Chains A and B, each alone.
Chain A
Amino acid sequence: MPTKAYKTYLSLLAFTAPALILYAIFLLVPTIGGMYYSFTDWNGLNRSYDFIGLGNFVEALTDDPDFVNSLWFTLKYVLFMIVLQNAIALVLAVFIESRKKSKGFFRTIFFMPNMISTIISAFMWTFVFTQVLPQIAEKTSMLFLDQSWIGDPKYSFVSILIVSLWNGVGYMMIIYLAALQGVPQSLKEAAIIDGANAFQTFRSVTMPMITHAITICFFLTLNGAFKVFEVVFGLTGGGPGRSTQVITMNIYEEAFSNNFRYGYASAKSVILFVIILIFTLVQITVMKRKEVEA
């Protein structure tokens, strides 16, 4: 028997090998390399560099206000994204699921923005924010539309949220749709017979039954929102100044403009990695506990 088990593993490995090898070469090895460089003061150019232990990490967390500010800004963004993205996606999914006709139509419409690459949608929206909205404001005298949408830090956060949501909601919606369709009709009918109204049915039957989808969607949003880059890059470039700079942008700036401090930027990336790891681990363990099986 043990030989057979061994053979099963071997054939499993053989099947995953092409992907695994590519993954190892192009992702795993560079990641480990990056972690190694995070303990050095390499500048990306010199042949020699020094090993400086935890110096980079200490500097990032204690002596780099720009990094800490970008960290807070990212956290704020993550919080808004988790709540809004999931709430809107769930509402849309329930709405579409409740339609008798034209389900496919609405599903396609809402999913469509997700198929446009993020950076392109950011550029599209730049045009909308800078050209279209002011024009509409002028023509219709809806003056509140005529704001400095991407130039004023007060509004640019909203603009970033709008574009991220527009782009990301569709994907979450599809996951919720699939989950909603998996809720057994019999349970809902039983609830109705017991005298529950639509809201009660949703809260006590549907919600628990789709917790696994919520876990996945929270995970995806959390993970994605921490790593947000293109939207901000395309819309505001982190500006004006650094007022909308997210953490990935701060890392990018450190590594590829400023002083080319690759080692220091790697250390910041490792910090980001650890933060995401902790957040997702906590999120998954907490939410897994709440899942129920039908």
Chain B
Amino acid sequence: MKMWTGVLTTVMAASLLAGCASNNTGNGNAANTGNAGGDSGSGEAKSVTLKMFVAQPRLKEHYDKYIAQFTAKEKAEKNIDVTVQIEMPPADNAAQILKTRLASNDAPDIFALHAINDIPSYYKAGYLEDLSDQPFVGKLLDSVKPAVTTTDGKVVALPLETLSWGYLYNKKMFADLSLTPPTTLTEMKAVVDKLNANNITPFLLSYKESWIPQLFLPLAAGALINTEDAEKDFITRMSNDEGSFSEMKSMFDVIDLVNANGTDKALEVGGDDGAAAFAAGKAAMWLQGPWYAETILKSNPDLDFGVAALPINDNANATMINLSASTSLAVSKTSKNKEVALDFLNYVLDDTDSNAFFQALKFNPIATVHTFDSYPWVNDATEYVKAGKSYQDPAIPQAVKDEVGKDLQSYYAGQMSQDEVFKALDKAWKSFNKVNK
């Protein structure tokens, strides 16, 4: 018995060591291949290790390829041996890991964060390098730039993923009934009536996950802020504990219309189920962004759908597309290799290589250097943007967005009245102000 235990321990210890060893070789190999491209340069090469943190494991091969191109370029142009250690945790807990790193003074040189949700607090905590005078800034499209600009006018990140969204609609159903996306709420009602008359459910409701009903708020608030003179300074006033969501009471006009003409058991349908149902043609419209395009097409590759702007009142100018950015790259203020990190960021929008990179990642064009053809639904949205019918995603605190999702669930379930929703939202924003004073 004793001997067996001894043997077992030895074996386990050995396998542990072996595990470490193989890991080391693995890293070594990766580093070598990274450098291989750059060996052509001569003379004493400076070597730099660049740490990156990008929470998109599904896109690893594209990043690896692009990083290899970068190291080759850096070696050729500046004679620097760059070793890139890229860390790609799953998106769910990436924010936690990143925060731990930052708080423990172990910041990666370059890290990805969410433009709308994360930039304000990270900037305030002093983790983000000011990138305003970097060459890439000049290449960003005007519609994208505001998302990565702080309130005091500094560009602090490079947007990778951008979104332009309103709601999705089934183009075939619309075409069969010769309907076009409505531009006012009255027209929307006519569309809904016609769909009902033809036994097609107008809206797909998927309220199980609270972030989906939450989408109403950025759409309605964004449109009102950008068209009503009284609401222009809504965000500022809310941030100063003045103002109230009851000013936005009219947003319930469209919410009620959607809720009253939607599919059954909305609170049991999540995002993925919703995508499948929309792909199966269960309803003509879905309040959702094109980020579900891949899922929808996976369950029905032939579905022809488009993106349109949601009308919220009878002002046709208020029917606008929401522009926003999510994953963005920032440089750590404490980075010891700032120069190389900045080189990389500029290389991301390189005049020659960036186009193919963004196309491979299936992201939307964000800079003047991007000339590839985008998807039909992106083009739909771009039409609106070109016509000037778009606005920047309003800077509503994440805490308030979380709150509105839950409140609209309760509203749908009949547990909350409109006034209670407004009260809860005001409270959420006030406590956000208190915490982030």
Query: Given A44-B103, A45-B122, A258-B402, does the pair A130, B413 have CB atoms closer than 8 Å?
Result: no
**Residues in B neighbouring A240, C-beta threshold 8 A:** 207, 267, 406, 409-410, 412-413, 415
In the complex, A239 Cα to B416 Cα: how many Å? 13
**Residues in A neighbouring B99, C-beta threshold 8 A:** 44-45
Cβ-defined partner of A241 (8 Å) among B96, B265, B273, B409: B409
Q: Is the CB of A151 within 8 A of B265?
A: yes
Cβ-defined partner of B102 (8 Å) among A41, A45, A129, A153: A45
In the complex, A47 Cα to B268 Cα: how many Å? 41
Q: Does A197 contact B (CB under 8 A)?
A: no
Q: Does B114 contact A (CB under 8 A)?
A: no
**Residues in B neighbouring A148, C-beta threshold 8 A:** 265, 267-268
Q: Is the CB of B413 within 8 A of A258?
A: no
User: Which among A241, A242, A258 has the highest number of chain B CB atoms within 10 Å?
Assistant: A241
Q: Is the CB of A152 within 8 A of B267?
A: yes
Q: Does A36 contact B (CB under 8 A)?
A: no
Q: Is the CB of B121 within 8 A of A150?
A: no
Interface class of chain B by DSSP: helix
Q: Does A253 contact B (CB under 8 A)?
A: yes
Q: Does B368 contact A (CB under 8 A)?
A: no
Query: Chain A interface: which of B188-196, B347-355, B381-389, B428-436?
Result: B428-436
Query: From residue B107, how far is it (CB to closest CB) to chain A in Å?
Result: 11
Cβ-defined partner of A151 (8 Å) among B210, B267, B398, B435: B267
**Residues in B neighbouring A253, C-beta threshold 8 A:** 402
Cβ-defined partner of B416 (8 Å) among A238, A241, A259: A241
Query: Given A45-B125, A241-B407, A259-B436, does the pair A130, B268 have CB atoms closer than 8 Å?
Result: yes
**Residues in A neighbouring B406, C-beta threshold 8 A:** 238-242
Query: From residue A253, how far is it (CB to closest CB) to chain B in Å?
Result: 7
**Residues in B neighbouring A237, C-beta threshold 8 A:** 208-210
In the complex, A259 Cα to B103 Cα: how many Å? 17
**Residues in B neighbouring A129, C-beta threshold 8 A:** 268
Cβ-defined partner of B432 (8 Å) among A41, A46, A243, A259: A259
User: Which among A240, A243, A261 has the highest number of chain B CB atoms within 10 Å?
Assistant: A240
Question: From B273, which residue of chain A is reached at the shortest CB distance?
Answer: A130
Q: Does A72 contact B (CB under 8 A)?
A: no
Q: Is the CB of A241 within 8 A of B413?
A: yes
Q: Is the CB of A241 within 8 A of B435?
A: no
**Residues in A neighbouring B436, C-beta threshold 8 A:** 259
Query: Given A47-B125, A151-B208, A240-B207, does the pair A256, B415 have CB atoms closer than 8 Å?
Result: no
Query: From residue A290, how far is it (CB to closest CB) to chain B in Å?
Result: 42
Question: From A258, which residue of chain B is reached at the shortest CB distance?
Answer: B399
Question: From A154, which residue of chain B is reached at the shortest CB distance?
Answer: B413
Question: From B126, which residue of chain A is reached at the shortest CB distance?
Answer: A47
Cβ-defined partner of A239 (8 Å) among B103, B267, B269, B273: B267
Question: From A59, which residue of chain B is reached at the shortest CB distance?
Answer: B431
Query: Given A44-B103, A47-B125, A148-B268, does the pair A239, B415 have CB atoms closer than 8 Å?
Result: no
Query: Given A239-B210, A240-B409, A257-B402, does the pair A151, B268 have CB atoms closer than 8 Å?
Result: yes
Q: Is the CB of B413 within 8 A of A152?
A: yes
Q: Does B94 contact A (CB under 8 A)?
A: no
Q: Mark A230-264, 1 if CB is under 8 A from B, else 0.
A: 00000001111111000000000100111111000
In the complex, A219 Cα to B398 Cα: how many Å? 39
**Residues in A neighbouring B269, C-beta threshold 8 A:** 130
Those of A46-70 within 8 Å (CB) of chain B = 46-47
Q: Is the CB of A150 within 8 A of B268?
A: yes
Q: Does B88 contact A (CB under 8 A)?
A: no
In the complex, A47 Cα to B106 Cα: how many Å? 12
Number of chain A residues close to chain B: CB under 8 A: 28
Q: Does B266 contact A (CB under 8 A)?
A: yes
Question: From A46, which residue of chain B is reached at the shortest CB distance?
Answer: B125
Q: Is the CB of B121 within 8 A of A153?
A: no
Q: Mark B98-109, 1 if CB is under 8 A from A, else 0.
A: 010011000000
Query: From residue A156, how far is it (CB to closest CB) to chain B in Å?
Result: 9
**Residues in A neighbouring B102, C-beta threshold 8 A:** 45
Q: Is the CB of A239 within 8 A of B122?
A: no
Query: From residue A22, how far is it (CB to closest CB) to chain B in Å?
Result: 15
Query: Given A148-B265, A148-B268, does the pair A239, B435 have CB atoms closer than 8 Å?
Result: no
Q: Is the CB of A151 within 8 A of B402?
A: no
Q: Is the CB of A243 within 8 A of B413?
A: yes
Q: Mark A254-277, 1 if CB is under 8 A from B, else 0.
A: 001111110000000000000000
Query: From residue B230, how far is it (CB to closest CB) to chain A in Å?
Result: 28
In the complex, A179 Cα to B281 Cα: how many Å? 57
Query: Given A151-B413, A237-B210, A240-B413, does the pair A45, B432 have CB atoms closer than 8 Å?
Result: no
Query: From residue B333, how far is it (CB to closest CB) to chain A in Å?
Result: 12
Query: From residue B416, how far is it (CB to closest CB) to chain A in Å?
Result: 7
Q: Does A43 contact B (CB under 8 A)?
A: yes
In the complex, A259 Cα to B209 Cα: how many Å? 19
Q: Is the CB of A259 within 8 A of B268?
A: no
Cβ-defined partner of A257 (8 Å) among B267, B398, B416: B398
Those of A112-145 within 8 Å (CB) of chain B = 129-130
**Residues in B neighbouring A46, C-beta threshold 8 A:** 103, 125
Q: Mark B115-158, 1 if CB is under 8 A from A, else 0.
A: 00000011001000000000000000000000000000000000
**Residues in B neighbouring A257, C-beta threshold 8 A:** 398-399, 402
Question: From B428, which residue of chain A is reached at the shortest CB distance?
Answer: A258
**Residues in A neighbouring B210, C-beta threshold 8 A:** 237, 239
Query: From residue B206, how far is it (CB to closest CB) to chain A in Å?
Result: 11
8 new A-B contacts, CB < 8 A, other than A46-B125, A151-B208, A240-B410, are: A45-B102, A45-B103, A45-B122, A130-B268, A130-B273, A151-B265, A239-B406, A241-B416
**Top 4 closest pairs, chain A to chain B, by CB:** A241-B410, A151-B267, A240-B409, A240-B413
Question: Which B residues are closer than 8 A to A by beta carbons?
Answer: 96, 99, 102-103, 121-122, 125, 207-210, 265-269, 273, 397-399, 402-403, 406-407, 409-410, 412-413, 415-416, 428, 431-432, 435-436
- 12 A-B Cβ contacts within 8 A? A44-B99, A44-B103, A45-B99, A130-B273, A150-B268, A151-B413, A237-B209, A237-B210, A238-B406, A239-B210, A241-B416, A258-B428
